[in-house]
Amino acid sequence: MELELRHLRTVRTIAEAGSLTKAASLLGLAQPALSAQLRRIEGALGGALFERGGTVCGRPRWAHWYWSAHASCCPW
């Protein structure tokens, strides 16, 4: 799978929303479809991008530097 800009938007929306359910609503997708898309993205990147727990989808500790460093350069 080749990652595209839409995949980065999806990941950013999930990170900002804090849950797959909220992100799916914001993106106009069904939650199962978003979950499947996230699994494909994570598979392409080689690992989990988020810590999942109940209804919350949090960022792994290693990713905090990335989100803070790149939030200003990707204003979408």
Q: pLDDT for 13-69, tens place per residue?
A: 988 888 899 999 999 999 999 999 999 998 998 888 887 776 556 666 556 656 665
In Å, what is the CA distance from 25 to each residue of 1, 8, 64, 73?
25, 17, 24, 24
Residue 75 in domain? no
Residue 20 in domain? yes
Q: Which domain holds residue 31?
A: 5-69
Structural domain count, the chain: 1
| 59 and 70 Cβ atoms separated by less than 8 Å | no
Quick check: pTM over 0.95? Answer: no
CATH at 19 = 1.10.10.10
Residue 74 in domain? no
Residue 76 in domain? no
Query: Rounded CA gap, 64 and 23, in Å?
Result: 19
Residue 24 in domain? yes
